Structure 1
């Protein structure tokens, strides 16, 4: 791939993965307060799966370049930007735009990646790691000896949630299909087979008094069941609506239903708490605080990966121009870990 050429993957509309387009253009130059980043790894997350269906609740109008997060090296700096940043490996949340060979960023939105981490390995822990860390420590506020339920504990966020919760001294119950149970047991997780039926009953047998926190990415009926599984003083953290991925109709409605439910539950006098996690919350009103929190949390996660305390499985590495194959693989449900694109 020509390093002097910008290569981007464009999502032109609601299409099958094969409908993604490759766009080439001249390499952009950083303007004032910008850095040019040569992308070394960018991930395929659930957000892109929703976006190609037009189902991500605040996605931009088509066409656009997907790509929620990335790891890369700063190759040039614009006027007024510290030239010593050149050569630094960074990670960044982008929401869109990451599926490219190069991106322009504000250096304040970048986080240094520790030496010794492979870019693809680091990439698996960017959006998934921040999500897991913030839900666990900033919202559920997990303490040693508590018991938590992680839905989809074999998934990208779920595996990190399970590991971080175990590192915090919590007992973890995790839902997954039976073929993932041995891997979950190896992480110290008690597995529950969601395909065996009546997940709430299975969880209650393991935690008769309820659980101290539930992390629910499923939405729909699952959110109600999760709330009812909480022990007194427990916390529900909802962070998606995966069960509505293939639905039609309003893309906002599934999220609005969860928001309405969490608002109502928080008015009840039972000491339990409910949150809908949005990784971008507060960014528009408190940008400096948002950036400081992001930097602190992602640094903690990447340091834990570097020390080997947690692992974020890498399902596959594929060339950026094979984004269609990567997206189809991620959507197949046949792989464990994150699919990563390498420009």
Structure 2
């Protein structure tokens, strides 16, 4: 049985390759939830790097225009479809959607819901959904850095970077984080040693701070600099690349920079040099959907627990209403912020 639900949803639409001001607002009737689905009333969603790439048509496997962006959200279940426990109604959950979350109400598969702990606000929870899962999996499932190790986090002031710094410090790992000078105090407060990424001697400075090499380098930039990141590793170290920010403004095929980077990392990984290189793909487990969902829920539950316990300090750069998504996207792209820009209804 389906409970009563507001029949409409207001969405932000990405109509094509546009500036942030080209985003459109539409209101449409929301279908009743089907078997296994729920309606989630959005309480917080966010601006991630994926949306910044999508508006340029540069995200690796984005859908054809037009579509509603929005990688993840936190909200309350307002209706359930056939076969779904009616006890979910009124409870707060998080979900990763990849697209579609920039809306006041969203149809979600009930199997994709992860409970948000009591006492954690929607905006705080939103900062660690896709960012928290990404940071946790890169640190603990790929790099597997042990207490006492040292890692380098490029973009330590960003949504993923700031979460990664905190998770690493909690695990007893020393962190060197690159950021602009304006964010050095913020990154230092999170527990990392800041290095100015604009300084011409950035890699030499990092090498001076870790003369024996890093146990892991987390690189979201890609491009030519990834070779410098590889050079920072000690024997047995791991490079985790998880983005191609360096090429986001380049014209041409959106898949090519990723494929070139993936090929380079695979080559390095197979060399007999006792170092590892990975390209982190959030959706790597999608071939086995049930296993992917289990792992996602397990890792996000770990991160939520640390957030609820006060171990993680949610890095909210700004909260803006959904209707101001254009301003939110502009702010997120300004390279002036620390943390994540959050959209609320």
State the TM-score bracket (shorter-chain normalisation).
over 0.9
Please state how far the C-alpha of 1:312 moved relative to its aligned partner: 2.3
Distance 1:26 1:179 in 2: 45
Please state how far the C-alpha of 1:28 moved relative to its aligned partner: 2.3
Match of 1:38 among 34, 41, 58: 41
**1:183-204 CA distances to partner (integer Å, 9 max, x unpaired)?**
2222221111111113221111
* 1:246 to 2:249 alignment: yes
Structure 2 counterpart of 1:106 = 109
* 1:181 to 2:181 alignment: no
* 1:338 to 2:340 alignment: yes
* 1:237 to 2:233 alignment: no
* 1:301 to 2:318 alignment: no
Structure 2 counterpart of 1:327 = 329
Contact 2:36–2:111 (CA under 8 A) maintained in structure 1: no
**1:223-248 CA distances to partner (integer Å, 9 max, x unpaired)?**
11111110000000000011111111
Distance 2:313 2:6 in 1: 31
Distance 1:130 1:47 in 2: 15
Q: After the TM superposition, which residues 211-222 of structure 1 pair with which residues of structure 2 at under 5 Å, given as runs?
A: 211-222=214-225
Structure 1 unmatched ranges of 5 or more: none
* SS state at 2:270 partner: coil
Please state how far the C-alpha of 1:288 moved relative to its aligned partner: 1.1
Structure 1 counterpart of 2:290 = 288
User: Normalising by the residue count of structure 1, what TM-score does the alignment of the two structures yield?
Assistant: 0.97
- Number of aligned pairs? 341
Match of 1:314 among 313, 316, 326: 316
Q: Which contiguous aligned blocks of 4+ residues in structure 1 show a shift greater than 4 angstroms? A: none
Match of 2:125 among 122, 125, 141: 122
Structure 2 unmatched ranges of 5 or more: none
Q: After the TM superposition, which residues 22-171 of structure 1 pair with which residues of structure 2 at under 5 Å, given as runs?
A: 22-171=25-174
* SS state at 1:30 partner: coil
* 1:279 to 2:279 alignment: no
Distance 1:168 1:312 in 2: 17
* SS state at 1:203 partner: helix
**1:17-60 CA distances to partner (integer Å, 9 max, x unpaired)?**
11111111123210111111111111011100100000101100
Distance 1:281 1:83 in 2: 32
Please state how far the C-alpha of 1:4 moved relative to its aligned partner: 4.2
**1:290-330 CA distances to partner (integer Å, 9 max, x unpaired)?**
11100010011111111110112111111111111111111
Structure 1 counterpart of 2:258 = 255
**1:248-299 CA distances to partner (integer Å, 9 max, x unpaired)?**
111111101110011101111111100000111121x211111110001001
